[in-house]
C-alpha cells in the first residue's frame, strides 16, 4: 500500500476483472452461480469461491448492487452512478429501473429525524407486469 492504492482497497486481479466484466454489459441481475457458469463457459477457470469473494468485495466497495431473489439467492448487478431502485416482475423476472428522488429525500429525512446516520436503503417493488397478467 503505497500511494496509488486506496486504503483497504481491493487489489486488482484478472479474476476480479473477469467477474466485473461478467456483470458489465448485462442489464439483468446475475447470481453468483450464474457468473461462475458464465466464466467457466468462457474458459476463464475462475473458481466459485473466488466469484463469491470478488462479488462480496465489490459489493462492499459499492461497485455492485446486491439484492435477493424471492428464493433467497443473492443477485448482483453492476451499480450505476445514480442510485436507483427496481421494479421486478414476479412472474417473468423482468426488471425495470426506476429512480426516485422523492424516496431518497424521504428516507434521509426520516432517518435523520430518528438520529440515524451513514444511511443506505433498499427498495424493491415486486408486481406482475402487463405481459404476464393473464386473467
Q: Which residues bind DNA (CB under 7 A)?
A: 2, 4-5, 10-16, 31-33, 45-50, 52-54, 56, 71-74
Among 24, 82, 115, 134, binds a copy of itself (CB under 8 A): 115
Nearest to 85 by CA among 28, 125, 38: 125
Per CB under 8 A, the list member of 33, 48, 57, 100 interacting with a copy of itself is: 100
- Nearer to DNA by Cβ, of 19 and 95: the residue is 19
Nearer to a copy of itself, 36 or 44 (CB): 36
Q: Which does 32 bind (CB under 5 to 8 A by kind): DNA, a copy of itself, none?
A: DNA
Q: Residue 67 — φ and ψ, nearest 5°? A: -145, 180
**In sequence order, what are the beta bridge partners of 96?**
87
Q: Which long-range contacts (CB under 8 A, 24 or more apart) does 82-87 make?
A: 85/123, 85/124, 85/125, 86/124, 86/125, 87/125, 87/127
Amino acid at each position: 500500500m503505497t500511494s496509488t492504492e486506496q486504503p483497504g482497497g481491493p487489489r486488482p486481479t484478472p479474476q476480479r476483472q473477469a467477474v466485473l466484466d461478467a456483470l458489465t454489459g448485462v442489464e439483468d441481475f446475475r447470481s453468483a452461480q450464474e457468473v461462475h457458469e458464465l466464466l467457466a463457459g468462457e474458459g476463464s477457470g475462475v473458481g466459485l469461491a473466488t466469484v463469491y469473494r470478488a462479488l462480496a468485495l465489490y459489493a462492499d466497495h459499492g461497485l455492485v448492487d446486491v439484492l435477493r431473489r424471492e428464493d433467497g439467492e443473492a443477485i448482483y448487478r453492476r451499480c450505476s452512478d445514480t442510485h436507483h431502485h427496481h421494479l421486478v416482475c414476479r412472474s417473468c423476472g423482468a426488471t425495470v429501473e426506476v429512480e426516485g428522488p422523492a424516496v431518497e429525500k424521504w428516507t434521509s429525512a426520516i432517518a435523520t429525524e430518528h438520529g440515524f446516520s451513514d444511511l443506505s436503503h433498499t427498495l424493491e417493488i415486486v408486481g406482475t407486469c402487463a405481459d404476464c397478467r393473464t386473467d
